[in-house]
């Protein structure tokens, strides 16, 4: 069985490698690849080196072709630049549909005027630092803890660092799947009914599935209720971020997003249906630039990705399904 599985994986890798064998890499691309390797502390076997070099060169050309056209965002090199999108999907994104349309909306939208822009990072110590999920597809846990950390800070003035690993290990009964994916709305429900979540210091992140080690005596944050935004009601998301709290949401990542560097991300290749979402993030604000409204979003791929770990994405069009399953927690403080 294991031999067959190894052969299957090896075959898939060889097929990917053959897809890039015809690419001729020039001296400038080789120079930048070696510089990139040094920056990211990468080493390869002699066989893998040529494959990674050609993959990098392909991404390099994609970046330059994109940046020469009239797009609202720029691409750039990052930690994913030696990988194909197929590899990235297997390693960093959700591997199965999350059915976020099952989220029942209970958020009641008001009618009052809202500020034209909002950024919780500028309001005080209300947004925790950008973290890195690693190769575990646990973005949903970072979106969850980020929203709850903000909610507690807004309500009490105290910033906490909460345990993503507890959610990876313990929240399966709430239709979450550890490194295989999950939804913040369901994770908030888990914390509510579990009666708390521990801190990062007592339940450190390991970036892989493990056995649940929750200790109720060490819980430091609690959820009183969960506000689920009505399916596709992006205006309600704006109101929630403007008046109450940063909002967790999921959307579909496609290949051009992985190399995002700055600007307002927009895509014509992604879907807008809730069954296609594969990544969860945290909206910490919104604004408008050159007539294009946008969300300010905190990611979980470290500060070397995007704009110091953040990105902007076009607002008002349910871009890539971002309004399909948005939610935020109401803390018990």
CA–CA gap between residue 329 and residue 222 (Å, rounded) = 9
Catalytic pick among 299, 318, 320, 325: 299
Closest CA to 274 of 308, 327, 321: 321
Radius of gyration of the chain (CA): 20
What is the CA angle 201-202-206, rounded to 5? 75
Catalytic pick among 100, 136, 139, 270: 139
Lookup: tokens for 47: 């066989």
CA–CA gap between residue 179 and residue 131 (Å, rounded) = 16
In sequence order, what DSSP letters do the residues of 294-316 get, joined into one string? EEEEE-SB-TTSTBTTEEEEE-S
Active site residue 211: no
Active site residue 299: yes
Residue 28's SS3 state is helix
Q: Tell me which long-range contacts 241-245 makes (C-beta under 8 A, separation of at least 24).
A: 241/118, 241/120, 241/283, 241/284, 241/285, 241/286, 242/114, 242/115, 242/118, 242/286, 243/114, 244/154, 244/328, 245/147, 245/150, 245/151, 245/154, 245/328, 245/329
Lookup: tokens for 190: 């888990």
218 burial type by CB count under 10 A (0-12 exposed, 13-18 middle, 19+ buried):
middle
Catalytic pick among 170, 279, 318, 325: 279
Query: Which residues are marked as active site?
Result: 139, 279, 299
């Amino acid at each position: 069985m294991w031999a067959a599985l190894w052969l299957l994986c090896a075959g898939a890798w060889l097929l990917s490698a053959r897809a890039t064998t015809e690419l001729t890499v020039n001296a400038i691309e080789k120079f930048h690849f070696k510089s990139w390797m040094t920056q990211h502390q990468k080493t390869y076997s002699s066989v893998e080196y040529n494959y990674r070099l050609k993959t990098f060169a392909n991404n390099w050309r994609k970046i330059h072709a994109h940046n020469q056209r009239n797009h609202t965002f720029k691409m750039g090199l990052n930690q994913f630049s030696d990988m194909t999108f197929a590899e990235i999907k297997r390693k960093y994104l959700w591997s199965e549909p999350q059915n976020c349309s099952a989220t029942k909306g209970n958020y009641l939208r008001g009618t009052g005027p809202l500020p034209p822009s909002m950024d919780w990072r500028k309001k005080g110590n209300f947004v925790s630092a950008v973290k890195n999920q690693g190769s575990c597809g646990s973005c949903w846990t970072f979106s969850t803890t980020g929203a709850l950390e903000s909610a507690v800070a807004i309500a009490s003035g105290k910033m906490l660092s909460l345990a993503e690993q507890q959610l990876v290990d313990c929240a399966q009964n709430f239709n979450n799947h550890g490194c295989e994916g999950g939804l913040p709305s369901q994770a908030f429900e888990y914390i509510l009914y579990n009666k708390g979540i521990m801190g990062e210091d007592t339940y450190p992140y390991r970036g892989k599935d493990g056995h649940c080690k929750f200790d109720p005596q060490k819980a430091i944050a609690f959820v009183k209720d969960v506000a689920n935004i009505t399916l596709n009601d992006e205006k309600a998301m704006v109101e929630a971020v403007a008046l109450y709290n940063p909002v967790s949401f999921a959307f579909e990542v496609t290949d051009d997003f992985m190399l995002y560097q700055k600007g307002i991300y927009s895509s014509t290749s992604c879907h807008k249906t809730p069954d296609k979402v594969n990544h969860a993030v945290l909206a910490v604000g919104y604004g408008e630039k050159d007539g294009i409204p946008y969300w300010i979003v905190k990611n979980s791929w470290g500060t070397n990705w995007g704009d110091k770990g953040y990105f902007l994405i076009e607002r008002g069009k349910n871009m890539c399904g971002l309004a399909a399953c948005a939610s935020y927690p109401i803390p018990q403080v």
